[in-house]
Structure 1
Amino acid sequence: MGRNTRKRRTPLATKVIAGAAALAIGGGGLVWANFYASAHEENGGHNATKSGQVQVATINCPDVGQKLTKVPRTARWGVARELARLDRQITDAYARLAETRQAQAGDANYVDNAILGPLKDKRVATLDRININIKRAGGQERDLGRFARCQGVPAEQPGDGGGQDGGGQDGEQPPADNGNGAAGPFAEDFIDINDVQPNSRDLQNGLAANGDTGSTGSFTTECGVNENNLFNSDNIIVAPGVGNGAHHTHDYVGNQSNTAFASDDDLNNAQTTCQNQGDKSTYYWPVLRLQDGTQEFDANDLGGGAEGNVGRILKAQQAEMKFVGNRTTDVVAMPKFIRIITGDAKAFTNGLANANTSFSCTGFEDRQVTDKYVICPEGSQVVRTSNFQSCWDGQNIDSANHRDHVAFVQPDGSCPQGFQAIPQLQVRLVYDVPAPTVENGQIKNPYAVDGFPEQLHKPITDHNDFINVMDEDLMNQVVQCINSGQDCE
């Protein structure tokens, strides 16, 4: 039920194993590919290559979607489709990179001439169409052409054995995957939970909104763990009307009409897995996979193995959705259909500004890490935690970049000026994950969140999504419980 049955193509893992690794995401992101580098070329103060070896390059494309903060409401649908087209263009560039390793090895200008140049031309045309959409809706034209060019950047081979000079000897190509037929994660992406310092996670985005003062109650909604196996690689918030807009597979609980093509009416009239039938909200996150060689249902699908998301999908043992209050004030009701994204699926290339999830282990939840997957001791389970933005601008249920209409609390727990406190959604997911091991600098049977292929399955890219579709009576009950200090279910 609900599984992705869209167009298939040759899996990314197959191309990586063949020795050609390349990654891409449209709108903005990074592409990496193996290409020939001259002997003993220096990069960043250390010897990046040896004679005859290849080197990994990155192509950094501006994230256009994050830069479009002012788009007329009537233009947003069209702009979203063009942003998705940018995604497709860079995905195609990825395929080109993956299929032309030999040509790249023989021609130092191949990537620039055959891949980056044509990619820029396509991006120019798409950015022009974005401007047309904005102008037709009465918006101001912007100089989007400056975002068309993608830069080629030399980079150290990921997973090259723990920082050694390279992965091959005497001209042998270094490994293009992590030993599991996938482009990441790598050994350096994991940490033993015992090596994490308690209470060391200090990202402001991770601050919980509530405390001992203000609105101290809570409301927990029980919606299951996706027993219905509802999966797809859409993103109704970022790419409405575009199939495979996420380029990775999501778990869904709550609302059962979650596709890119669902309207607010569709969501409002949908079935829900939540015990309280007044909660038709959609709660979704990238699936967690064990890279153990399992051929999942989407092994050849876009969003799945065709884009580097391989292995057995792990279903959460527990999925807790809890709404809490604010440390300084009462909360007000969330507007129906408000969209909130926490975390950043492109944080590996975009930077840490919007990174906001954490990994921990049961029994060790005072130890939280954002940029590592955790290795838990026997008897302990992996925990993924996401605390959502809990301040609302009082007007909008979404914004052009899907972030500006909401905000995190300030260090003192209050909302920024012009924002008001709403119930904060906290999602806690618990998984039974076999502990991976590190052998000879490679991670064996790692687990990883699904992601855009160029993000190398880095833990920093974990994210979570929510659309409020509670009926008015239930939302009022949530607010009353929180403001009166009760713990309700």
Structure 2
Amino acid sequence: MGRNTRKRRTPLATKIVAGAAALAVGGGGLVWANFYASAHEEHSGHNRTRSAAAQVATIDCPDVGQEIRDVPDRARGEVDGELATMNSQITDAYQRLATTRRAQAGDAQFVQNAILGPLKDRRKAIIDRIQLEINRAGGKADDNLDQLAECQGRPADQMQNGEGQNGEGQNQDGDGQDGDGQNQDDNGNGAAGPFADDFVDINDVEPNSRDLENGFAANGDGGSTGSFTAICGVNENNLFNSDNLIVAPGVDNGAHHTHDYVGNQDNNAFSSDEDLANADTSCQNQGDKSTYYWPVLRLQDGTQEFDANDQGGGAEGNVGKILKASQAEIKFVGNRQSDVVAMPKFLRIITGDAKAFTNGVANANSSFSCTGFEDRQVTDKYVLCPEGSQVVRTSNFQSCWDGQNIDSTNHRDHVAFVQRDGSCPNGFQAIPQLQVRLVYDVPAPTVENGQVQNPYAVDGFPEQLHKPITDHNDFINVMDEDLMNKVVDCINRGEDCQ
């Protein structure tokens, strides 16, 4: 039987984060209507114009984990732990940014002196420890990592396409709050987002217009044309946690957002490969103990979920009703140019990027669509579906493997996406491509006058502002040898199996 995996919490840290979130939600500082409207304010007949660019909306930090290479195996655990601490530092700094708006309004140097400067010092200390740990383990640390210590404040005018800056539909009483003190457009999450500009009507998306370098479907008319479907349910056992076994093993709340899990039922930050191999599975084929997990989708409707006061949940801006997928279609397909080879057991793959809003789109991948409109896929917007149509999240995983490693230091280099012609890059061989399609019954949000009411959004790091481009999906292969061989045989023979 499955279980709800709750987070093991540090009391003092929890009080600090939860207190900041409560202050924000209660109107004590994080007021996004005021944040945009204050680009042009009028008080006591005096017209006072402020530069929106001077107002910091979120914190943009270089992703140190993506830049580290060749960490010796015996230093991997320490390095992963340090990187997880660095993520917590960003989260804490964002919470401070979000709850000190009034101080920032009175001091142009507040953000730099009180938030970004100290954050740089703390990140520098961690980078120094990472370099030391790599060198002690016999590796050669990159001396240039120090250049990644400094974070920037991302200004308001870089957030949306002018959304909310003319004050239309917003309260401009100087507080950005309505009569009961609640922010009009934070949707109760304190950390803000998504915004009206994060949504698009599916009818306004051009068919076949998605053009990213990642996420091509590997299968086609040539090569290996079969498939294998894994039937693993939709998380009926309610297995949730905010850990991330791949990126932050051994670190509580390493994801800073809540995940849905199907397949393996013993997946948390402290699970060993042996634990995974011995666990129960929600998959119909009991030989598949793989873990498939993704950020939950929430409706920001004021619902108090089980994690409403927890880290990874409401204390970090991930609020509202968790929407369970009505369908979770998990399929492995072939390669357009060649046969596929077996995945090694415990191979780890992450597709998409939880930090794509600040990292950029290089690793962005997952897309949104609507049933009946799935020739229209969009990566940087949530979709508004017509009545009778459901929201669809799609992820096509990397399907080329380096032939040696089940993971890599940045959790990406050991696998690669197929190229546009369906072939693998030099030095990589084709493996079955995992394709995950999630379908949700989502009440359509209302978007009027630059405001969105009752939006839905993926869980994420708070400083990523619930942007759709941060959607991602994770997989650890724990199929037994017989089943993996069946998967490969079905795909290479052109059969459809389950």
Alignment-derived partner of residue 148 in structure 2: 147
Q: What CA deviation, in whole Å up to 9, does each residue of 1:92-126 have, x standing for no partner? A: 22233234333322222222222222222211111
Counterpart for residue 107 of structure 1: 107
Alignment of 1:239-250 (within 5 A): 239-250=248-259
2:24 paired residue number: 16
Q: Write the mapping of 1:205-224 to structure 2, written as runs, cut at 5 A.
A: 205-224=214-233
Q: Secondary structure at the match of 2:473?
A: strand
Q: Hey, what's the Cα distance between the residues in 2 that align with 1:13 and 1:147?
A: 28
Structure 1 length as normaliser, TM-score? 0.91
TM-aligned CA deviation for residue 456 of structure 1: 0.8
The 8 Å contact of residues 20 and 96 in structure 2, kept in 1 or not, is answered as no
> Residue 137 of structure 1 aligns with which residue?
137
Structure-2 separation of matches of 1:84 and 1:67: 15
Question: What does residue 333 of structure 1 align with?
Answer: 342
**Match among 481, 486, 491 for residue 477 of structure 1:** 486
In 2, the alpha carbon distance for the partners of 1:400 and 1:463 equals 18
Deviation, structure 1 residue 159? 7.0
> How many angstroms does 1:178 deviate by?
3.0
Structure 1 residues 374 and 39, CA gap change in structure 2 (3 angstroms): closer
Q: Is the 8 A contact 1:322 1:427 kept in 2?
A: yes
Determine if contact 2:298/2:319 at 8 Å carries over to the other structure. yes
Give the CA deviation at 1:49: 4.8
| Matches for 1:368-387 after TM superposition, within 5 Å | 368-387=377-396
2:491 aligned partner, one-letter code: I
Distance 2:173 2:442 in 1: 39
- Give the conservation status (yes or no) of the 8 Å contact 1:52–1:171: no
Task: State the shift of 1:157 in Å.
Answer: 8.2
C-alpha displacement of 1:12: 5.9
Q: CA deviation at 1:155?
A: 2.4
The answer to whether the 8 A contact 1:250-1:286 is kept is yes
1:221 positional shift: 0.7
Change in Cα spacing, 1:396 to 1:327, as seen in structure 2 (3 Å) is same
Q: Could you say if the C-alpha distance between residues 355 and 470 of structure 1 is closer, same or farther in structure 2, counting changes exceeding 3 Å?
A: same
Deviation at 1:172, TM superposition (A): 4.8
Q: Distance in 2 between the 1:343 and 1:184 partners?
A: 19
**Distance in 1 between the 2:88 and 2:48 partners?**
31
Amino acid aligned to 2:234: V
Structure with the higher helix share, 1 or 2: 2
Task: Give structure 2 stretches of 5+ with no counterpart.
Answer: 42-46
Question: Is the contact made by 2:326 and 2:439 (CA closer than 8 Å) also made in structure 1?
Answer: yes
1:78 alignment partner in structure 2:
78
Instruction: Tell me the secondary structure at the aligned position of residue 156 of structure 1.
Output: helix
Report what 1:28 is aligned to. Answer: none
After superposition, give the CA deviation of every residue in 1:29-51 in whole Å (9 maximum; x if it has no partner): xxxx96999989xxxxxx99549
Match of 2:271 among 252, 258, 262: 262
Q: Cα offset for 1:22?
A: 10
* SS of equivalent residue, structure 2 residue 55: strand
Name the stretch that deviates more: 281-290 or 135-144: 135-144
Pair 1:302 & 2:314 matched: no
Paired residues, number: 474
Query: What letter matches 1:16 in structure 2?
Result: A
User: Is the CA contact (8 Å cut-off) linking 1:120 and 1:149 kept in structure 2?
Assistant: yes
Does 1:413 pair with 2:408? no
User: SS where residue 308 of structure 2 aligns?
Assistant: coil
Q: Is the 8 A contact 2:262 2:292 kept in 1?
A: yes
Q: More deviation in 115-124 or 462-471?
A: 115-124
Residues 333, 479 of structure 1: 8 Å contact kept: yes
- 1:488 corresponds in structure 2 to 497
Q: For 1:92, give the aligned amino acid.
A: D
2:44 is aligned to none
Cα distance in 2, alignment partners of residues 164 and 37 from structure 1: 8
Q: Report what 1:59 is aligned to.
A: 59
Output the TM-score relative to the length of structure 2.
Answer: 0.89
Tell me, in whole angstroms, the C-alpha distance in 1 between the residues paired with 2:424 and 2:141. 32
RMSD value, Cα: 2.7
Mapped to 1, the partners of 2:37 and 2:108 lie a distance apart of 7
CA shift for structure 1 position 168? 5.7
**Residue 327 (structure 1) shift:** 0.3
Separation of aligned partners in 1, 2:195 and 2:445: 11
1:282 is the counterpart of 2:284: no
Does 2:187 correspond to 1:180? Answer: yes
Contact persistence 1:237–1:339 (CA under 8 A): yes
CA spacing shift, 1:162–1:146, aligned 2, 3 Å: closer
The answer to which of 165-174 and 275-284 deviates more is 165-174
